[in-house]
Amino acid sequence: MRNVVCDLHIGGVNELKNYKSMVDCVLAGDIFDLKNCRKEDNKVLTRVAKEKALSFGKRYIRGNHDYVVNDNDYFIEDGIVYAHGWLEMWDNTKIYEWQNKTFNGTGVFGRTRAKLIDFGRSVQQKPHESFYVKAFLKLRNEKCHTYVCGHKHYKEKIECKQDGLRVVVLPRGFHKGSDI
């Protein structure tokens, strides 16, 4: 299994040093926070994110905060589906509203929200059952055995097994393939 980096939410040009060491891994979405970064940083961050996406090719999976960098929703290799997880965790209406900047759910856009997510989930909530249904369906459709994603910023890895299939939700940061 490959090393995975997810949910760094690099949101300023002064934070760009954080991504320089990412090599030969899967970038599983929200590496850059193009939704909540300062307007003056957006152009530079978008350019750098798109360059990173080009250099990583299919191994850069877009998340809900950097979905403009490419159209890769999944990377599949050796029976493993790598994803960001937002497409399985959200319903289609919320995805559409988010992409069209009309989402007004419980979250609040802006730097305040971006700072809150840095701390990880204070309450360890497991993903909703509908997420697992979608993730296991994806595995069956792709004839794979493991689904790996991030998105929720949990403080620890969450794992669910069913009929020889495995779904893993990773916390933010860098993860060695051997530890997943």
Q: What is the pLDDT of residues 101-133, one digit of tens each?
A: 765 554 444 333 444 444 444 444 567 788 999
| pLDDT tens digit sequence for 142-159 | 999 999 999 988 889 999
Residues across the chain: 180
| pLDDT tens digit sequence for 39-93 | 888 888 889 889 888 989 999 999 999 888 888 999 999 999 999 999 999 888 8
Looking at residue 60, its amino acid is Y
Q: Mapping DSSP to helix (H, G, I), strand (E, B) and coil, where does residue 75 land? A: strand
Name residues whose C-beta falls within 8 Å of residue 165's C-beta, 6 or more positions apart in sequence.
136, 139, 140, 145, 146, 147
Architecture of the CATH domain 4-179: 4-Layer Sandwich (3.60)
Taking only Cα atoms into account, the Rg of the chain, rounded to an integer number of angstroms, comes to 15
Looking at residue 77, its amino acid is E
Q: Mapping DSSP to helix (H, G, I), strand (E, B) and coil, where does residue 98 land? A: helix
- CA-closest candidate to residue 64, choices 86, 47, 42, 31: 86
Q: What is the reported pLDDT for 19?
A: 59
